[in-house]
Amino acid sequence: MYSSILRQDAAGTLPFQTAGQPLKTNPPPPTRSDASLPNPPRVTIHSGAKARYDQPALGSASTTYASSISHDRTTRSAYSSMESQAEGQSIRGGRQGREHDEGASVYSYNSFRDVNKYVKELHGRIFNNLNDAYLLPSDEDEWARLDKQGSAIAIAFNGPYPCPEVVEAVLLPEEGRTKRILDIGCGTGTWAMQMAVRFPHTSVLGVDLAPPPIDQTSFPPNLSLEIDDVNFGLRHFAGQFDLVHMRCVSGGLANIDQTILDLQECLRPGGLLLIVDGDIALLNEDRKTIHPFIRLPEDGGPEITAVSEQGSWLRRLIWEACISCEISGACLTRTDEVDDLGLWDAPLCDPETACSGGVDLPIGPWPQGKDLSETQLLQYVGVLVRQNLLSIHRAYHSIMLKNGMDQATLDEWSSNVEKELRDLNPRMWLRFRFMMARRRAGEGLPAPPLPTAPTPDPLTSTAQELEDAEQRRRPQVRYPAMDIYYTREENMARMRQRRSTFGTFPPSVVKTRWEKTQAGT
């Protein structure tokens, strides 16, 4: 079954859904072990290489290209025929750090020759070519948006990750072994790059569907990037990583439960899984209740309680776009449940090490903090989030057009969204939830104890070691809209509270139009 669907995928049509399939049926993801499957491409960008994926070069023969992104695969595949047609390909055997990948080959990537393999143009934007469910583009505008979003989250976390006492303990140097970090859906590669710089004794690998925009001048030696679709499984990484991070990738996942299992399998014993995801249910000013959707004429009667005349266009557009993603094969409804549950029941992780939480980012510079510095912090984050959302809502159009919406309606929705964002009315928060847990030492065993940093001896330590130790002792600056839940009970209480304000949803306009298109009416 999957092989035929995936052959369609390789030809550029829907990967996980065929006409008439029910909307919420997300098939289990394909696996690399199925010999009938085409093996998806994995492209590795080595730190030594002059890797620069030059977006303006797309479709332009006159630009010069760095043929320096290498393409790594475990076995020959359906994509091999595409490779062999490509001029001047060079395949050489094996690659450091992937010894277990028998038969691995490295393929020199040339952006001019190969670009259509990895990206395609749709409605004037550039999209990845591996996964049709993932709705957002991969181009300059999207990279700028992602970096703003990443900065806003990092301000709220007070660094690239929450709970630094756990993350930094897990990454403490260990004699005789290089610690490894995996960033799934690395986007621009910024987070992976920050981690490589911050932890120079580690080796960092970022994986994404699309070639990331690499800045050659700042590419650290301990960073590499691969192109791959994680829906095909991650068995080739089993037991290798000390930290596995995945942020805001759910829109491209076919089966979140399977992916979370795969991510746990990538961990070494004691390794940490950290997942961060945006919550599409925008919050009211009180940070507790969910803001209603704008009411549309086709929404139905008073039994539909999740809508209101004062409801939000932004909330509606984001939700309709997510329904569109589901139509194309993503599992966002299930992701929302999984994000609510945290990792207390993750089979390979120790529940004693689980925690969850979230940061609420204001949509626009409207909040007042308890003092001037808090107000400035919140409002700066608000500006970044508003810019991010002003960019994202039109990026959603492509996937909705594909599923039967018309441009005039989408333009009308988008201008209402822009007005809302400009007027800062309604005042809302965008929440990013996180969950983390460490892998057990073995089946049925707790996780090994967290490594502890040795206290540096003031007589023999370097100034840098003393400064680092001092830094660890300093109290963290606390973003005022952050929550952490250390127990399953606290997490469940938050989940129940959130769900109690959902209300009854309207029928989705996108889904109704898509069903009509499918029925040919």
Ligand X SMILES: C[S@@+](CC[C@H](N)C(=O)[O-])C[C@H]1O[C@@H](n2cnc3c(N)ncnc32)[C@H](O)[C@@H]1O
- Which residue's CB is nearer to ligand X, number 306 or number 318? 318
Structure tokens at 336: 């929302």
- Which residue's CB is nearer to ligand X, number 110 or number 138? 138
Check residue 317 for interaction with ligand X (CB under 6 A). Answer: no
Where on the phi/psi map is residue 215: left (φ > 0), alpha (ψ -120 to 50), or beta?
beta
Question: Could you tell me the smallest distance in angstroms from the CB atom of residue 146 to ligand X?
Answer: 4
Sole window of 70-78, 130-138, 166-174, 349-357 interacting with ligand X (rule: CB under 6 A): 130-138
Residues numbered 89-128 forming contacts with ligand X, rule: CB under 6 A: 128
Number of helical (H) and strand (E) elements in the chain, helices listed first: 15, 16
Sole window of 133-141, 279-287, 457-465, 509-517 interacting with ligand X (rule: CB under 6 A): 133-141
Here's the x/- map for ligand X, 139-178, by CB under 6 A: it reads as: -------x---x----------------------------
Question: Could you tell me the smallest distance in angstroms from the CB atom of residue 259 to ligand X?
Answer: 8
HEC per residue, 1-34: CHHHHHHHHHCCCCCCCCCCCCCCCCCCCCCCCC
Helix (H, G, I), strand (E, B) or coil at 98: coil
Residue in 229, 226, 232, 228 with CA at minimum distance from that of residue 258: 232
* DSSP per-residue codes, 110-141: -HHHHHHHHEEEETTEEEESS-SS--S--SHH
Question: Could you tell me the smallest distance in angstroms from the CB atom of residue 150 to ligand X?
Answer: 5
Structure tokens at 363: 């949509």
Which of 249, 256, 400, 430 is the binder for ligand X (CB under 6 A)? 249
Sole window of 227-235, 333-341, 354-362, 431-439 interacting with ligand X (rule: CB under 6 A): 227-235
The one-character DSSP state at 176 is: T
- Which residue's CB is nearer to ligand X, number 109 or number 344? 109
Which residue's CB comes closest to ligand X?
252
Question: Could you tell me the smallest distance in angstroms from the CB atom of residue 192 to ligand X?
Answer: 9
Which of 41, 187, 270, 358 is the binder for ligand X (CB under 6 A)? 187
Contact of 133 with 5, CB cutoff 8 Å = no
Contact of 367 with 375, CB cutoff 8 Å = yes
- Contacts with ligand X by CB under 6 A: the residue count is 23
- Which residue's CB is nearer to ligand X, number 185 or number 362? 185
- Which residue's CB is nearer to ligand X, number 112 or number 134? 134
Which of 252, 270, 292, 404 is the binder for ligand X (CB under 6 A)? 252
Sole window of 85-93, 224-232, 337-345, 387-395 interacting with ligand X (rule: CB under 6 A): 224-232
Contact of 158 with 412, CB cutoff 8 Å = no
Encode burial over 158-174: b for 16+ CB neighbours within 10 A, e otherwise: ebbbbbeebbbbbbeee
Which of 26, 80, 129, 231 is the binder for ligand X (CB under 6 A)? 231
CA Rg, the chain, in Å?
A: 23
Question: Could you tell me the smallest distance in angstroms from the CB atom of residue 232 to ligand X?
Answer: 8
- What is the C-alpha to C-alpha distance for residues 451 and 168, in angstroms, rounded to an integer? 9
Cβ partners under 8 Å of residue 188, min gap 6? 143, 146, 147, 150, 212, 213
Check residue 230 for interaction with ligand X (CB under 6 A). Answer: yes
Between the CA of residue 154 and those of 162, 272, 275, 381, what are the distances in Å?
9, 19, 14, 10
Which of 44, 68, 89, 131 is the binder for ligand X (CB under 6 A)? 131
Question: Could you tell me the smallest distance in angstroms from the CB atom of residue 29 to ligand X?
Answer: 9
Contact of 430 with 360, CB cutoff 8 Å = yes
Check residue 185 for interaction with ligand X (CB under 6 A). Answer: yes
Alpha-carbon dihedral 384, 389, 392, 394, rounded to 10 degrees: -130
Check residue 196 for interaction with ligand X (CB under 6 A). Answer: no
- Which residue's CB is nearer to ligand X, number 136 or number 244? 136
Which residue, chain included where needed, has tokens 């808090």? Answer: 374
- Which residue's CB is nearer to ligand X, number 210 or number 359? 210
Sole window of 2-10, 169-177, 244-252, 346-354 interacting with ligand X (rule: CB under 6 A): 244-252
- Which residue's CB is nearer to ligand X, number 131 or number 240? 131
Check residue 206 for interaction with ligand X (CB under 6 A). Answer: no
Which of 16, 107, 109, 134 is the binder for ligand X (CB under 6 A)? 134
Which of 209, 275, 306, 363 is the binder for ligand X (CB under 6 A)? 209
Question: Could you tell me the smallest distance in angstroms from the CB atom of residue 94 to ligand X?
Answer: 24
Sole window of 3-11, 58-66, 182-190, 370-378 interacting with ligand X (rule: CB under 6 A): 182-190
- What is the C-alpha to C-alpha distance for residues 417 and 388, in angstroms, rounded to an integer? 13
Structure tokens at 104: 């691995």
Encode burial over 448-481: b for 16+ CB neighbours within 10 A, e otherwise: beebeeeebeeeeeeeeeeeeeeeeeeeeeebeb
Which residue, chain included where needed, has tokens 């963290």? Answer: 476
Question: Could you tell me the smallest distance in angstroms from the CB atom of residue 36 to ligand X?
Answer: 20
Which of 156, 210, 273, 332 is the binder for ligand X (CB under 6 A)? 210
Structure tokens at 108: 């020199």
Question: Could you tell me the smallest distance in angstroms from the CB atom of residue 247 to ligand X?
Answer: 4
Pairing of strands 267-278, 293-294: unpaired
Q: Contact positions toward ligand X, by CB under 6 A?
A: 128, 131, 134, 136, 138, 146, 150, 185-187, 191, 207-210, 229-231, 247-249, 252-253
